[in-house]
């Protein structure tokens, strides 16, 4: 199943999934890949798709969709581990090429909520590492009532948000690197 077919499947899904389209799904998957701890696939698939995310009973188009989601998840992980500079989020775009990063960021934050407390070190605006999440959180602060913290001195948020999406392909590999020691320790337990 290609991304266009997956996007259409997500749109028709009843009840509606946690994500609204391919861009939001991509952000969700990126957060699962780079987050502070492993989350079992059955858990995040259920969170993402509800009953339609039950891997054990999937068949037909549902199975094809789950396989396409798993393929994108694996693709994100492989790119970030072998060629992080080539990582490219799937942002919504207008026909004229204007980028809307908000849906991707909303998907990322939706997946963070699965282990919100584990993300705490990056959510503290007093820590320098908070800057890793800033481009993501600023795009969705209003919708989620997440305090994005004070903007860096001298930065006009409205102007910054016009181009902040350029920072996301840079911060996602950095977030992965930040959590990597914790993830490695998790696997050796």
State the CATH number of the domain containing residue 24: 1.20.120
Q: Do the beta carbons of residue 35 and residue 27 sit within 8 Å? A: no
Q: Which two tokens stand for residue 39?
A: 């989350």
Q: Which two tokens stand for residue 143?
A: 């919708």
| pLDDT score recorded for residue 95 | 86
Strands 99-100 and 92-93: antiparallel
Q: Which two tokens stand for residue 161?
A: 């948000």
The 10 Å Cβ neighbour count of residue 96 is 5
Show the 3-state SS of 57-84: HCCHHHHHHHHHHHHHHHHHHHHHHHCH
Domain interval for residue 45: 3-187
Q: CA 73, CA 102: separation in Å to the nearest integer? A: 20
The 10 Å Cβ neighbour count of residue 135 is 22
- Structurally, the chain folds into a number of domains equal to 1
Flag residues of the chain having pLDDT under 70: 141-156, 189
| pLDDT score recorded for residue 147 | 47
Q: Do the beta carbons of residue 21 and residue 107 sit within 8 Å? A: no
Q: CA 89, CA 101: separation in Å to the nearest integer? A: 9
The 10 Å Cβ neighbour count of residue 167 is 18
pTM of the model: 0.90
| pLDDT score recorded for residue 142 | 61
Distances from the Cα of 8 to the Cα of 35, 72, 121, angstroms? 27, 16, 36
Q: CA 133, CA 136: separation in Å to the nearest integer? A: 5
71-124: pLDDT as tens digits? 999 999 999 999 999 999 999 998 888 888 999 999 999 999 999 999 999 988
Percent of residues in the chain assigned helix, strand, coil, to nearest 5: 70, 0, 25
């Amino acid at each position: 199943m290609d991304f266009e077919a997956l996007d259409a499947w997500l749109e028709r899904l009843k009840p509606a999934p946690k994500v609204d389209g391919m861009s939001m799904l991509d952000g969700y998957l990126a957060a699962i890949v780079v987050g502070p701890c492993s989350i079992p696939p059955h858990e995040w698939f259920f969170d993402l798709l509800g009953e339609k995310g039950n891997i054990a009973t999937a068949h037909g188009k549902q199975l094809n969709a789950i396989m396409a989601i798993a393929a994108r998840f694996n693709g994100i992980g492989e790119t970030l581990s072998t060629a992080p500079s080539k990582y490219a989020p799937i942002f919504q775009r207008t026909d004229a090429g204007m980028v809307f990063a908000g849906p991707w960021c909303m998907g990322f934050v939706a997946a963070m909520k699965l282990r919100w407390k584990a993300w705490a070190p990056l959510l503290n605006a007093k820590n320098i590492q908070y800057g890793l999440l800033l481009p993501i959180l600023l795009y969705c602060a209003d919708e989620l009532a997440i305090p994005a913290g004070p903007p860096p001195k001298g930065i006009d948020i409205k102007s910054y948000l016009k181009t902040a999406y350029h920072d996301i392909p840079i911060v996602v590999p950095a977030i992965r690197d930040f959590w990597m020691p914790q993830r490695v320790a998790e696997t050796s337990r």
